[in-house]
């Protein structure tokens, strides 16, 4: 399969051709997250709180698959840009093999951890029951989602982003359709409550995986996958984990953050815990859209870096940054103009809506500047500087926000936690700019790049 267009096509059309399908996929995925929560909220506020508490564990499982997939994506795209099909096939095969291992370990660990984890935050029996019912099902079927995500990253690595888009849309739409049917019982399907939401999630993930497998069977992957070949190429594990482990930590940091903030907010009220959970459902619509842009450019950055064209890497970064700024500006305006309506989708409690609207207005003040760190992280991962990317994420999700939230909550109550968000975003943006320029200067000094390839 010919991927040379990645180094010859004009930058803006190239970025748009890769980013738009992924943005659409992320929008549909975000819509699913919101719709899923809306249906769960109709069960009861306890059910919604339970999902908020389970979310960090579920997000951690996703962090492992997405983060390791980032490593597979970047390494595979790099070898393709270098013209080394054998190593590209080996890296892809090894990533699939290791994902199977990750899935087995995570399934056992999370099934054991879910109930003790819930009990560490609440004594409410209904909340614990709801959370354990949901967790046992989604964690029991973890393998489906883990393998689907690896295929998603591999299809992106070869530039087949439309296949990823249609696969994700098929899974999300299936989930959205099945949610009310299985939660409330429609037609012959019995009402299963929160268990129905969990089962619908697994079925949606299975639909996505089937789509990927069908595309692979038709020869559209452009990579030869073999578990045996993956084992023979295990020497590439260092490169996969060199990018994948920092990316996993990047993805896992939000789970750590939410867990820590839940602990801080629980000292004030369960309402504040609920507001944080609702915020993270809403912000996925904004940040997953920006992440769609990043997913689109990561293989482009890796491919052009492998091909030795640093000038295009810089232009890809600038173009993605401009697009991300626009996305985050829209998100900020929505949170400033209609915060009550957004919170009101998840609860009818007027006090919760009032407090949640105030929280959204405060948190959203850091949205636009956060585009800088989001795009820098994706670019650094594409360049193979996973540790640098992790440093930026560490600033966003732990290094600044957690101590700031703890100190300011002592001074201003729950509102202090909300202010910690924008403080962390401004700090992380400053650090990310410094690291980006450092990496680009280092690459420019150590590598000779061809200057005879024009942007047609």
pLDDT at position 75: 86
Q: Is the pLDDT of residue 445 over 70?
A: no
- Band (pLDDT 50/70/90 cuts) for residue 14 is confident
* Residue 338 CB-half CA count within 13 A: 8
Which residue do the tokens 């795009």 mark? 375
Q: What is the rounded distance in angstroms from the CA atom of residue 396 to the CA atom of residue 410?
A: 21
Q: Is the pLDDT of residue 139 over 80?
A: yes
Q: Is the pLDDT of residue 450 over 50?
A: no
Could you tell me which residues come within 8 angstroms of residue 178 by beta carbon, excluding any fewer than 6 positions away?
196, 199, 200, 203, 204
Q: Which of the two residues, 326 and 158, has the higher pLDDT score? A: 326
pLDDT at position 58: 83
Tokens of 59: 């997000």
- Band (pLDDT 50/70/90 cuts) for residue 315 is very high
Residues in the chain: 456
Which range in 35-44, 45-54, 83-92, 200-209 is most confidently predicted, on average pLDDT?
Answer: 200-209
pLDDT at position 452: 39
Q: Is the pLDDT of residue 454 over 50?
A: no
pLDDT at position 143: 92
Q: What is the rounded distance in angstroms from the CA atom of residue 280 to the CA atom of residue 448?
A: 44
Q: What is the rounded distance in angstroms from the CA atom of residue 62 to the CA atom of residue 443?
A: 31
Q: Is the pLDDT of residue 250 over 80?
A: no
With pLDDT > 70 as the criterion, what percentage of the chain qualifies? 96
- Band (pLDDT 50/70/90 cuts) for residue 2 is low
The model's pLDDT over 72-105, given as tens digits with 9 standing for 90+, comes to: 888 888 888 777 888 888 888 998 999 999 999 9
Mean of pLDDT values over 372-399: 87
Q: What is the rounded distance in angstroms from the CA atom of residue 415 to the CA atom of residue 265?
A: 10
User: Considering the chain, what is the average pLDDT of its residues?
Assistant: 86
Q: Is the pLDDT of residue 207 over 50?
A: yes
Q: What is the rounded distance in angstroms from the CA atom of residue 249 to the CA atom of residue 292?
A: 19
pLDDT at position 324: 93
- Band (pLDDT 50/70/90 cuts) for residue 370 is very high
List the Cα angle 345/351/354 in 5-degree steps: 65
Tokens of 379: 């670019």
pLDDT at position 50: 86
CA distance to 170, 239, 311, per residue, from 152 (Å): 13, 19, 28
H/E stretch holding 132: helix 125-140
CB atoms within 10 A of CB 13: 10
pLDDT at position 334: 93
- Band (pLDDT 50/70/90 cuts) for residue 3 is low
Q: DSSP readout, 165-195?
A: HHHHHHHHHHHHHHHHIIIII-TTSPP-THH
Q: Which of the two residues, 169 and 454, has the higher pLDDT score? A: 169
Flag the least confident range among 20-24, 172-176, 187-191.
20-24
CB atoms within 10 A of CB 36: 21
Q: What is the rounded distance in angstroms from the CA atom of residue 162 to the CA atom of residue 159?
A: 8
Mean of pLDDT values over 2-8: 69
With pLDDT > 90 as the criterion, what percentage of the chain qualifies? 32
CB atoms within 10 A of CB 85: 14
Could you tell me which residues come within 8 angstroms of residue 83 by beta carbon, excluding any fewer than 6 positions away?
none
Flag the least confident range among 27-36, 111-120, 363-372.
27-36
Mean of pLDDT values over 187-197: 89
Spatial contact of 281 and 36, defined as CB atoms under 8 Å apart: no
CA distance to 176, 222, 244, 411, per residue, from 3 (Å): 35, 10, 23, 55
For residues 413-429, one letter each, b for 16 or more C-beta atoms within 10 angstroms of the residue's C-beta and e for the rest, the string is ebbbbbbbbbbbbebbb
Q: Is the pLDDT of residue 416 over 70?
A: yes
pLDDT at position 133: 92
Could you tell me which residues come within 8 angstroms of residue 238 by beta carbon, excluding any fewer than 6 positions away?
none
CB atoms within 10 A of CB 5: 13
Flag the least confident range among 127-141, 261-275, 354-368, 437-451.
437-451
Q: What is the rounded distance in angstroms from the CA atom of residue 399 to the CA atom of residue 442?
A: 25
Q: Is the pLDDT of residue 449 over 50?
A: no
Q: Is the pLDDT of residue 209 over 60?
A: yes
- Band (pLDDT 50/70/90 cuts) for residue 446 is low
Q: What is the rounded distance in angstroms from the CA atom of residue 257 to the CA atom of residue 401?
A: 8
Exposed, middle or buried, 358 (CB in 10 Å: 0-12/13-18/19+)?
middle
pLDDT at position 258: 82
pTM of the model: 0.69
Count helices and strands (H / E) in the chain.
18, 0
Spatial contact of 114 and 135, defined as CB atoms under 8 Å apart: yes
Q: Is the pLDDT of residue 448 over 70?
A: no
Cα–Cα nearest to 332, from 359, 374, 360: 360
The model's pLDDT over 147-176, given as tens digits with 9 standing for 90+, comes to: 998 898 888 888 788 888 889 889 888 988
List the Cα angle 198/256/203 in 5-degree steps: 15
pLDDT at position 105: 93
Q: Is the pLDDT of residue 453 over 50?
A: no
Tokens of 417: 């936690």
Spatial contact of 32 and 175, defined as CB atoms under 8 Å apart: yes
């Amino acid at each position: 399969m010919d991927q040379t267009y990645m180094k010859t096509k004009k930058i803006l059309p190239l970025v748009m051709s890769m980013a738009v399908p992924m943005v659409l996929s992320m929008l549909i995925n975000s819509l699913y997250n919101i719709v899923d929560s809306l249906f769960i909220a109709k069960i009861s506020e306890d059910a919604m709180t339970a999902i908020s508490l389970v979310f960090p564990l579920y997000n951690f499982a996703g962090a492992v698959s997405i983060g390791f997939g980032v490593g597979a994506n970047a390494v595979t795209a790099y070898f393709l840009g270098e013209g080394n099909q054998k190593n590209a096939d080996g890296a892809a095969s090894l990533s699939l093999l290791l994902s199977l291992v990750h899935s087995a370990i995570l399934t056992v660990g999370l099934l054991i951890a879910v109930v003790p984890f819930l009990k560490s935050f609440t004594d409410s029996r209904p909340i614990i029951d709801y959370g354990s019912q949901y967790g046992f099902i989604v964690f029991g079927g973890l393998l489906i989602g883990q393998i689907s995500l690896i295929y998603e990253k591999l299809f992106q690595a070869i530039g087949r982003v439309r296949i990823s888009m249609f696969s994700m849309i098929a899974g999300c739409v299936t989930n959205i359709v099945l949610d009310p049917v299985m939660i409330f019982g429609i037609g012959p399907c019995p009402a299963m409550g929160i268990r129905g939401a969990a089962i619908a999630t697994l079925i949606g993930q299975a639909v996505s995986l089937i789509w990927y497998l069908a595309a692979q069977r038709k020869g559209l992957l452009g990579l030869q996958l073999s578990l045996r070949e993956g084992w023979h190429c295990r020497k590439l594990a260092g490169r996969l984990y060199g990018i994948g482990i920092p990316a996993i930590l990047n993805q896992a940091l939000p789970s750590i953050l939410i867990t820590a903030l839940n602990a801080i907010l629980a000292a004030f009220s369960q309402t504040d815990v609920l507001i944080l959970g609702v915020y993270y459902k809403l912000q996925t619509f904004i940040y997953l859209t920006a992440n769609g842009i990043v997913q689109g450019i990561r293989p482009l950055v890796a491919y052009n870096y492998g091909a030795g064209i640093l000038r295009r890497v810089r232009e890809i970064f600038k173009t993605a940054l401009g697009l991300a700024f626009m996305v985050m500006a829209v998100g900020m305006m929505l949170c400033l103009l209609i915060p009550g309506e957004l919170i009101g989708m998840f609860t009818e409690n007027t006090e919760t809506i009032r407090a949640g609207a105030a929280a959204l207005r405060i948190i959203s003040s850091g949205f636009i500047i956060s585009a800088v760190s989001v795009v820098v992280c994706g670019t650094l991962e594409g360049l193979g500087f996973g540790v640098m990317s992790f440093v930026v994420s560490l600033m966003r999700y732990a290094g600044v926000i957690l101590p700031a939230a703890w100190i300011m909550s002592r001074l201003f109550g729950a509102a202090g936690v909300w202010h910690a968000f924008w403080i962390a975003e401004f700090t992380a943006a400053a650090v990310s700019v410094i690291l980006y320029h450092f990496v680009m200067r280092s690459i420019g000094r150590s590598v000779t790049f061809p200057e005879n390839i024009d942007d047609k």
